[in-house]
Copies of this chain bind each other. A is one copy, B any other.
Amino acid sequence: MVQSQEVPSLTIGGLAAKGGMGVETVRFYQRRGLLDTPSRAGGVRRYGQRDVQQLQFIRRSQSAGFTLEEIGELLSLDAGQDRSRARELATKRAAALDEKIAELTRARDALRRLAHECGAGDKGPCPILTSFDA
C-alpha cells in the first residue's frame, strides 16, 4: 500500500480559507506550536491536506472546550504512543462537558421562566434580579 504523496499546494491564504479563519490566526497557531511551519522551499510556504485537517481539528477541539494548550497536547499525542493519556484527556473533558451542559440547561430553563414570568405586558418593572434563580 503506497501512501499517496500529496504535493502541498495551498498558500497560507488558501489554507486559512479552508480552515475558516484568517491568515493571522493561522500564523498565530504556528507561533503557538499548534501547526508546523513548512520550509520556504524557494519562495512561499506551501500547505497540504494534513494542515487543513489539523486546523479543523483545532476548531473542533476548541468547540469542545479544550484550551489551545490542551490542544497542543492532543496533537502531540496523535503521533505518540500514549493511548491511556489520550483516553484520559478525552474522558475528563467529556465529564466536564456533562457538567457544563447541565449548568447551561439550568440557566436556559431559568431564563425561559424569567421571560414567561416577566409577563405579556410591556410596561412596569420586571424584577429580573429576583426572578433569575439559576
Contact = CB atoms under 8 A, between A and B. Distances in A.
The 9 A-B pairs with the shortest beta carbon distances in the complex, nearest first, are A64-B107, A60-B134, A97-B108, A90-B115, A94-B111, A84-B122, A78-B128, A78-B129, A90-B111
Q: What's the number of copies of this chain in the assembled complex?
A: 2
A11 interface: no
Interface string A111-134: 110110011011111111110111
A126 B91 contact: no
Contact of A128 (B65, B86, B134): B86
B78 A110 contact: no
A11 B127 CA distance: 26
A80 interface: yes
Contacts of A129: 53-54, 57, 75, 78
A108 B53 CA distance: 20
A134 B63 contact: yes
Contact of A61 (B119, B121, B132): B132
